Amino acid sequence: MTLTLQYVIDALNVGGLYALMALGIGLIFGIMRLINFAHGEMVMVGGYAMLLLIDLPGPAVVGVSILAVVALALAIERLAFRPLRDAAPSTLLVASFALSYFLQNLSVLLFGARPKPFVFASALATDLQVGPVRIALLQLVSMGLTLAALAGLTVLLKRTSIGVQLRAASQDFRAARLCGVRANSVIAFAFAISGALAWIVSLIYSAQIGQLSPAMGVRPVVIGFVATILGGLGSLVGAVVGGFFVGALAVALEAGLSLELRPFKEAVLFALVFLVLLLRPQGLVAVRALRERV
Amino acid sequence: MRVSAAIHSATQWLLPLLALGLILTAIVAAVGMLPAGMQRVATDALIKLLVVVGSYIFIGNSGVLSFGHVSFMGIGAYVAAWLVISPETKQLMLPNLPALLMDAHYSPTVAALAAGAAASVFALLVGLPLARLSGISASIGSFAVLAVVNAVLSNWTSMTGGQGSLYGLPSYANIWTTLPWALAALALAWTYQQSRFGLRLRGARDDEVAAAASGVDIWRERVIALVVSAFFCGVAGALYGYFLGVIVARSFYLQMTFITITMLVVGGLSSLSGAVAGVIVITAFGEVLRNLERGLDLGPFTLGAHPGLQELGLAALMLIILIFRPRGLTGGREIALLPRSWWKAGPKAGGVSENCR
């Protein structure tokens, strides 16, 4: 019983992080048909921004580093993806791949390839004993942040005008534009949100791994990518569902696989992506506008 | 009249291939007179050319962007390693290898052919389901293949040595031993793209619905192209092992995928000349950047070492090409030795419609 509870907590915790990642990727895919590999580099930049600002008071570190990531997201959109807006989805995919590589190596050039130890809030590393269950404070904080981010995003998307426009655009971009939705502002808004989501991931993820490196964004983006596809590309609910699903699956595989088989966890996840693409290409939560028309 | 028309069409058919082969041979012959360091760069480029031409056979003709071709290269490299490394060395590195592989000891050429065949068989297995997908789903599916193969190669300790490396491969690859493979790949890629199979697939690339309506079995054509293209990627993997003498699973993952896709995209996805041009341009540009990366001593000025500069420059070049010249340097055309107007008969070389997207 206790063990099960521990697994559930772990799954929610890991899943929350993946859900945030998947949301950031899914948001952009929904309106632009772009799978943004460079999302991982936003996470990386968030980490390095915090490292550079570490001597400032806490709230300033948080505020300025969020601004830095959002500014990066907007710059990426303006400089790389806006000129390519009418290109084929596979061209966009290659472009984001190149961009991700560009940002990673820019970071190698500026900060060196070697990982840098980084602890933003060392107090988070303590463990809390709640009855029989052990919870790291970090886990509680990250779960709280994830929930707050999801709630905030829901309010933003359901209650504000730009949020409604964004949801409309992600259902049918052309029809939304015909109804007066401004393409540039809604896409820039989506990138800004995805930047903010990436910052939250960089806060939690860098605290979990305790270091920063130029390639640190690759793993989260690849897992987020899996979650987005399992959940259903283009669906925001699907991204969250997919994130928690992959989190649960990862914990289950970790617990269920024998020691020799454990390294193959990633292979199982990607084999699942392959199967989902073939058997249920619309994912767990289907989006109607994505069906290709002749 | 008829005979001259036949000769005319035959030369038109062959000239771009001959031109590409001659250019490549001339470059290799020129590099052969340069110091050993440059020869190694050229060998590396020829091996990448094999991967790029291999990938082109599928990507260029089907229009489906695959991120999975480097996994074929990885499989080829390990198959070749199992077959060429001496049994004594294998006893030390991989004591749990099945007896059949443990006792195998073949020549590099035989092992390279087997590597290509193994990659083709694997491509057939994943291609049967994968070829059903189109567009971005196919790209993601191929990426999943790459990730699964990498996870397996880097963790299957009893067969691949896991995260460690396999050594003891013969250092057989140099410019002269890789050139014939590269020329063979060019010849086969060209023959394929002019054959009825290639034409059907290119038709499907330009308009999937129209091709299907004209009776093209797109799934079947894609599987055929994938199997052919995987062969050369597998051979390239084997040669890469012979070139470095050592293989590690992580060298067949994102970095190699990035560099080969950059070559293909920069040169132009939809022509064989584009694939060759991309390899030459990116190798030359990469060499310049690599020298800058090490730092320069220009008399009064010195440039410090900048690790990461090479990749940075290549990624920037790729983005610039994608934005300003999305169809690559060659724009999807094949090389022409004589002006286009000389060929009065027949459609223009390459025959790519302007609105193929």
Express each pLDDT in A251-268 by its tens digit: 888 888 777 777 788 888
B304 touches chain A (CB under 8 A): no
pLDDT digits (tens, 9 = 90+) for A114-159: 888 887 766 666 777 777 777 777 778 878 888 888 888 888 888 9
Asked if residue B148 lies in contact with residue A267, where contact means CB atoms within 8 angstroms, the answer is yes
Beta-carbon contacts below 8 Å between A and B: 123
First-to-last C-alpha distance (Å) of chain A: 53
Average pLDDT score over residue span A270-289: 76
pLDDT of residue B257: 93
Q: Are strands A211-212 and A116-117 parallel, antiparallel or unpaired?
A: antiparallel
Instruction: Read off the tokens for B229.
Output: 């293209």
Cβ under 8 Å to A: B residues 137-156: 137, 139-141, 144-145, 147-148, 151-152, 154-155
DSSP string for A190-224: HHHHHHHHHHHHHHHHHHHH-EE-TTTTHHHHHHH
Q: How far apart are CA B352 and CA B203, in angstroms?
A: 9
Mean pLDDT, chain A, whole residue set: 85
Asked if residue A19 lies in contact with residue A146, where contact means CB atoms within 8 angstroms, the answer is yes
Sequence ranges of the domains in chain A:
2-290
**Contact residues on chain A for B136, CB-CB shorter than 8 A:** 33, 35, 89-90, 93
Instruction: Read off the tokens for A136.
Output: 């790291």
pLDDT of residue B295: 67
CATH number, span B15-342: 1.10.3470
Sequence ranges of the domains in chain B:
15-342
DSSP category for residue A289: G
pLDDT of residue B57: 96
Q: How far apart are CA A48 and CA A233, in angstroms?
A: 30
B312 touches chain A (CB under 8 A): yes
The predicted model scores a pTM of 0.88
The CATH class that applies to domain A2-290 reads mainly alpha
DSSP string for A115-172: -EE--S-GGGG-EEEETTEEEEHHHHHHHHHHHHHHHHHHHHHHHSHHHHHHHHHHH-
Close Cβ partners of A71 (under 8 Å, ≥ 6 residues apart): A195
